[in-house]
């Protein structure tokens, strides 16, 4: 099929008694920034290693650009990988590392040099070609690994938690750069991460993994606003589940509902819901956490259950926060933000 970089069909993989991947079907479009999100042990890295060819599936099919590659060796696939710990060759210079895939393909030396330098420029590492990986910082090694994987312009670039070892500031900067780089080179990126924020900010689409299966595939907005399962609701963002009697009473229909904390307004108990399509519930503030830019309220509802509400600190400041504990409040939210989850 045209326009598909990767198609996975009914993929299974076990290691001894542990099932890592239990039936994954997935299509990743050409030129997409696709994230595989899930907790550790959810099978996302195994799927990545199956696509790269480091592991062979027990069952199922892997297609790259419409061609089956299930049984092919890694060096027979037009896919390059950026490893979690970069896996740079320590005995080679940065330039030799970057030029490695070209050398293997017997690209003439002069062209190899030109392309390696260009790839280093793309990741803003001009002039570092003669250094050894050991002489670089973590962020710089990360860029070398990127340049090395991109220099041969693979059909698909696989990234295995590449930002996991960087500190927060650098990670945020690299998120922006990675996204820009992907747009620039137009290569399909498949990005494995356990960091939901990272996946939400960078991806065109996300697959959320849960216990070796895909729980939901969708755009960041779909995943966040319309989680398909309680697992997705709790793993992506903070989940706020209303169920049983409480849900029935407040929402008006039985079922399990998820409301994102930032959609809930915290009002005085005496306040009326100002708009007709709002649901409200009263309760007591069990805990207040000052987060700097926002304040998090944990509210025990009168009818049972607990909701978290997040309020921007527009007018409140740190001094006010402690006083809220134990006070009576009314929570209000728009009906459409109570998302019903399939049971």
Partner 1 sequence: MATDANAAAGRGSVRRLAGSLHRRPRLRLALLLSAPLLWLAVLYLGSLAVLFASAFWTTNSFTSQVVRVWTTDNFHELFTTPVFREVVVRSVGVALAVTALCAVLAFPVAFYTARVARPRWRPLLVVAILTPLWASYLVKVYAWRLILSQGGLADWLLAPFGLSGPGFGLPATVLTLTYLWLPYMILPIHTALAQLPANLLDASADLGARAGRTFRSVVLPMVLPSVAAGSVFTFSLSLGDYITVQIVGGKTQLIGNLVYSDIELNLPMAAALGTVPVVVIVLYLLAIRRTGALNSL
How far is 88 from 82, CA to CA, in rounded Å?
10
Q: Cβ 289 to partner 1, closest distance in Å?
A: 40
* Residue 189 interacting with partner 1 (CB under 8 A): no
Of 16, 90, 108, 276, the one binding partner 1 (CB under 8 A) is 90
Q: Does 85 bind partner 1 (CB under 8 A)?
A: yes
Of 17-25, 79-87, 219-227, 332-340: span binding partner 1 (CB under 8 A): 79-87
Of the pair 62, 299, the CB lying nearest partner 1 is at: 62
Chain positions 58 to 77 lying near partner 1, rule: CB under 8 A, are 73-75
* Matching residue, tokens 């570092």: 128
Which CB sits closer to partner 1, 36 or 107? Answer: 107
Draw the binding track, 94-113, toward partner 1 (x: CB under 8 A; -: no contact).
------xx-xxx--------
For residue 149, the minimal CB distance to partner 1 (Å) is 8
Q: Which is nearer to partner 1, 148 or 330 (CB)?
A: 148
Q: Which is nearer to partner 1, 4 or 92 (CB)?
A: 92
Q: Which residues pair with 310 in a beta bridge?
A: 296
Contact 285, 324 (CB under 8 A): yes
Burial class of residue 90 (count of CB atoms within 10 Å of its CB; 0-12, 13-18, 19+): exposed
Angle (CA) 4 85 237, round 5°:
65
Strand partners for 288: 297
Alpha helices in the chain (DSSP H): 44-52, 94-104, 109-122, 138-150, 168-185, 196-202, 220-225, 230-235, 244-251, 318-321
- Residues lying near partner 1 in the complex (CB under 8 A): 52-54, 73-75, 79-81, 83, 85, 87-91, 100-101, 103-105, 148-149, 152
């Amino acid at each position: 099929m045209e326009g598909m970089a990767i198609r996975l069909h009914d993929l299974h993989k076990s290691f001894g008694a542990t099932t890592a991947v239990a039936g994954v079907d997935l299509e990743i479009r050409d030129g997409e920034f696709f994230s595989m999100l899930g907790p550790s042990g959810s099978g996302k890295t195994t799927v990545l290693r199956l696509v790269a060819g480091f592991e062979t599936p027990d069952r199922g099919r892997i297609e790259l650009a419409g061609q089956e590659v299930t049984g092919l060796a890694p060096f027979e696939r037009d896919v390059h990988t950026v490893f979690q710990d970069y896996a740079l060759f320590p005995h080679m210079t940065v330039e030799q590392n970057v030029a490695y895939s070209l050398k293997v393909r017997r690209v003439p030396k002069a062209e190899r040099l030109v392309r390696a330098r260009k790839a280093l420029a793309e990741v803003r590492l001009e002039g570092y070609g003669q250094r050894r990986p050991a002489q670089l910082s973590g962020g710089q090694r990360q860029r070398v690994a990127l340049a090395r994987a991109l220099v041969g312009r693979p059909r698909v670039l696989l990234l295995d938690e590449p930002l996991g070892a960087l500190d927060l500031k650098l990670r945020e900067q690299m998120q922006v750069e990675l996204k820009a780089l992907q747009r620039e080179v137009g290569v399909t990126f498949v990005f494995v991460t356990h960091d939901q924020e990272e996946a939400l900010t960078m991806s065109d689409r996300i697959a959320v993994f849960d216990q070796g299966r895909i729980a939901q595939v969708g755009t960041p907005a779909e995943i966040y606003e319309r989680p398909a399962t309680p697992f997705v609701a709790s793993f992506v963002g903070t989940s706020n589940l209303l169920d049983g009697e409480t849900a029935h009473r407040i929402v008006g229909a039985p079922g399990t509902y998820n409301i994102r904390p930032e959609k809930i307004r915290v009002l005085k108990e005496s306040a009326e819901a100002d708009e007709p399509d709002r649901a409200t519930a009263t309760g007591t503030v069990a805990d207040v956490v000052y987060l700097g830019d926002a304040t998090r309220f944990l509210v025990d509802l009168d009818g049972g259950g607990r909701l978290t509400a997040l309020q921007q600190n527009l007018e409140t400041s740190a001094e006010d926060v402690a006083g809220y504990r134990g006070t009576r409040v009314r929570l209000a939210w728009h009906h459409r933000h109570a998302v019903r989850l399939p049971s």
